[in-house]
Chains A and B, each alone.
Chain A
């Protein structure tokens, strides 16, 4: 009948396979092979120079591991049973047998540094203890905080059934040693602390007591066995049973034998329990993380993003319309003001000019000048209008910069023929001062003078027509003619001014109309254009919004499904975990592995 632990282990392997964790399967398989193997792998660890190699030698009473002053074990050494002494160095490229006498030099280095490419050494010796199924693994000293190599290395704690931690009796356990132990007991049910070199330490009992206290306070349930390799080897030489008993090794050996016997019943279930717990923890961690992870942000984020863009577009649409309306209103009033200002200036000039000039004589020139001035006014005003329209178009386009659309519309207004608004100014009806009128006016003026002076001179006895009265008549006639001419000129000037005023008013009215029409036309073009742009953008955003919503919905559904799956997997893991726990708990009851007498 297959033991329960084996079933649990196989179930663990299946779960690993279900999760697609090939790395874990590899590990489980390795562990399975190791547990099914009836041999007990004993890993000897500890800090350098504590007597690890000497402990191995003393255990089997054979100098297989090199020991000595300043010699340090550089590669792990596996000591197992063989009928004939053999030695093999295993390198990355493969294993190669070496003479048993040379192997020591390969294992150790004088100064602790690795130069060899060898991975580990394997030594076979004919010893009863080993034949019973023990495999001893001597390791290089764990220096500082670097814990023993993990993974598949032969010296990895994961591949050992029992760990012997070696510390010498000349001092108490150090912090790093306790840390090493804490690391090891997590994965190993059975750890033994061997207190070596009790032969040279006078106060080893005190040290042992202190070490037990350290272990207890660190919560490490490992028995402490004081041993002396020197005594053991001396006993072997003299075959002295008493000294052998004093060396403490019989206790250690008995303990190891008991572990060996209990491997299948106690060690293996516990190891499987620990292994399965570790594996489940590794498998469950990502699942748990996935469960507890907040709803995947991405689809929702896209949805929110799309909604925000839509709102933004709405605001943008209001903004550009406002801008367009405001700017256009401003433009129209500005253009009207500008036009009025310019025509007024012309009017002022005309007034000034006709205060002095006689329209009768300068009319031709004046007409040409006025036409030219008005053309200039119309052109600059209209040009300004176009410029402003362009600028407004730019202002509105600024609102669309974020959409990265090249949205400035293509519109073209050619300078229309503005001269038609000017028309021609007609010469006002001007009375001319003809010669006949002049004669008549002169006669009328001279009559009064002649009479006035004639009558006055008759008193002096002169005839009515005399040289003096004739002179006065001529004088008065001339003055009348001049006065008449002046008043006529003033009338002509007023007429010309009036005519110009009317003309300019007409011009203003027409051109203003033209400008306003153009501005409205532009406004309409811009409005239509940007409305269509907004509509296109709106369509695009609504489309992406819809997509995002669909994605979010799909995602939620997917997640729900995945969550169900995870929960199912977790339930399976939990069942397995309970089984593993049962394995670990069961042997704790009776003191199967408690220290031997």
Chain B
């Protein structure tokens, strides 16, 4: 037996709520807004404390320098980046178009002269593949922006320098409400300034990756988000927008005798100092430092010396090392592929807040129905289990863990991807594999040798297998 798809039951629920709240303007506005969002791309907010590297990460994700957009007077502005044919920018709530200038690396939105009305949101349309499935939102620092993030975003990339307690409190705060507590599946934690780990040593990114893995195993963090990824935002961005001039300067530096340059790489002051031995001008060195950071410069030089000797190779290697690839994979796996579930989750959360804000006769029934839908949402359970398995908070034997992760959609939510076979596999083949998996996992779910967490996890996999068979029949 399988319930109606999540989005359908949520749609029904929203219609019921519209009927119940037809006389309340704010409630219907919110509900209609969420219904219209079902057809839109997923909204991913890049949130985090002050100076945690939000705009750098947005740029790295978009692949161009489009952020930050700074309003005059330090006003907090939400910058929305969506896919489109022509670059342009609109300011809301006034709804006026802002002048934009396109530069070599990206775009500049001229908001400085926009004065008469306050600006809350700037929607930037920017033609790029990276935004095809998701709208990325650059947000003001938390915690002041928390409310709006909760209201507007379907998923959150939560940036932190080191995953300290204060940051976790904010993350907890972002998971407010019954819906969010039942399904904390909309957040990824990003250690965003990974290149500064350990004072910018050459293996800083590797070390940061270790830290991320440790954080993911921590049940306190694992319970709040789907995963922890370390990203050297500056290095990633540099990799995506590396110019030939930058590369030429780096190549010259790398070509200089190592012993000469070494001591001048100790600090930024020494790097930009006048008595630098290699034939690269002070301005060029400053530009490199701004672009890559001292860590990025060291890394790029090492990479050039070890074989990444063209701009394209170096750029690819920088992106790979920065952790951006992992982040994009995680975003794709946890957010983009589950976008229906996430949008449904946002709608449920909005519905919950409407019902809580305006209780009336009949709203209790609505809340009960909401709870029922939430309890039946298998997508959320899959995501939670995936996060636990990845964080090793639940573990089977190695092969079993791998199979479980594949079945619940680690490599993709398509039938073939879940069953680990070629896309061209026949229906009967798929049927055979699914029923075999179902039988196996049913046994695991009742295996007395496993502990209760493992059995519960196995039951989720069983449910997934049932769903596979259902969709095949």
Residues of A bordering B, CB below 8 Å: 47-49, 51, 54, 67-70, 110-112, 141, 143-144, 170-172, 174, 176, 197-202, 204, 228-231, 234, 238, 240, 243, 246
Asked, given contacts A144-B165, A230-B266, whether A202 binds B290 with beta carbons under 8 Å apart, the answer is yes
A-B contact pairs, 26 of them (CB 8 A): A47-B164, A49-B161, A51-B199, A68-B207, A69-B204, A69-B208, A70-B197, A70-B210, A112-B164, A143-B166, A144-B165, A144-B166, A174-B50, A197-B196, A198-B267, A199-B294, A200-B196, A200-B200, A200-B268, A200-B293, A201-B268, A202-B289, A202-B293, A229-B199, A243-B263, A246-B270
B169 at the interface (CB under 8 A from A): yes
Asked, given contacts A69-B211, A70-B214, A170-B193, whether A199 binds B267 with beta carbons under 8 Å apart, the answer is yes
A69 to B161 alpha-carbon distance, docked (Å)? 12
Nearest chain B residue, comparing its CB with the CB of A235:
B266
Contacts of A229 in B (CB 8 A): 199
The reply to whether B161 and A200 form a contact with Cβ atoms under 8 Å apart is no
Contacts of A202 in B (CB 8 A): 268, 272, 286, 289-290, 293-294
A117 CB → nearest B CB, Å: 21
B16 CB → nearest A CB, Å: 42
A68 to B266 alpha-carbon distance, docked (Å)? 18
Contacts of A143 in B (CB 8 A): 164-166
A54 to B215 alpha-carbon distance, docked (Å)? 22
Contacts of A234 in B (CB 8 A): 263, 266
Nearest chain B residue, comparing its CB with the CB of A170:
B196
A110 to B216 alpha-carbon distance, docked (Å)? 13
Nearest chain A residue, comparing its CB with the CB of B290:
A202
The reply to whether A199 and B268 form a contact with Cβ atoms under 8 Å apart is yes
Contacts of B293 in A (CB 8 A): 200, 202
The reply to whether B199 and A49 form a contact with Cβ atoms under 8 Å apart is no
A289 to B295 alpha-carbon distance, docked (Å)? 60
A228 to B204 alpha-carbon distance, docked (Å)? 17
Residues of B bordering A, CB below 8 Å: 50-51, 161-162, 164-166, 169, 193, 196-200, 204, 207-208, 210-211, 214-215, 218, 263, 266-270, 272, 286, 289-290, 293-295
Asked, given contacts A49-B161, A111-B214, A144-B165, whether A246 binds B50 with beta carbons under 8 Å apart, the answer is no
Nearest chain A residue, comparing its CB with the CB of B288:
A202
A275 CB → nearest B CB, Å: 32
A21 to B373 alpha-carbon distance, docked (Å)? 63
B192 CB → nearest A CB, Å: 12
Nearest chain A residue, comparing its CB with the CB of B198:
A69
The reply to whether A48 and B164 form a contact with Cβ atoms under 8 Å apart is yes
The reply to whether A49 and B198 form a contact with Cβ atoms under 8 Å apart is no
The reply to whether B207 and A200 form a contact with Cβ atoms under 8 Å apart is no
Q: Of B50, B208, B218, B268, which one neighbours A198 at CB under 8 angstroms?
A: B268
The reply to whether A204 and B268 form a contact with Cβ atoms under 8 Å apart is yes
The reply to whether A231 and B162 form a contact with Cβ atoms under 8 Å apart is no
A174 to B289 alpha-carbon distance, docked (Å)? 24
Closest 4 pairs (CB-CB, A-B): A199-B267, A69-B207, A70-B211, A200-B200
Contacts of A199 in B (CB 8 A): 199-200, 266-269, 294
For A70, A172, A176, A229, the residue with the greatest tally of chain B CB atoms inside 10 Å of its CB is: A70
Contacts of A111 in B (CB 8 A): 214-215, 218
A231 to B271 alpha-carbon distance, docked (Å)? 13
A398 CB → nearest B CB, Å: 51
Nearest chain B residue, comparing its CB with the CB of A230:
B199
A171 to B211 alpha-carbon distance, docked (Å)? 21
A62 to B210 alpha-carbon distance, docked (Å)? 26
Contacts of A171 in B (CB 8 A): 50-51
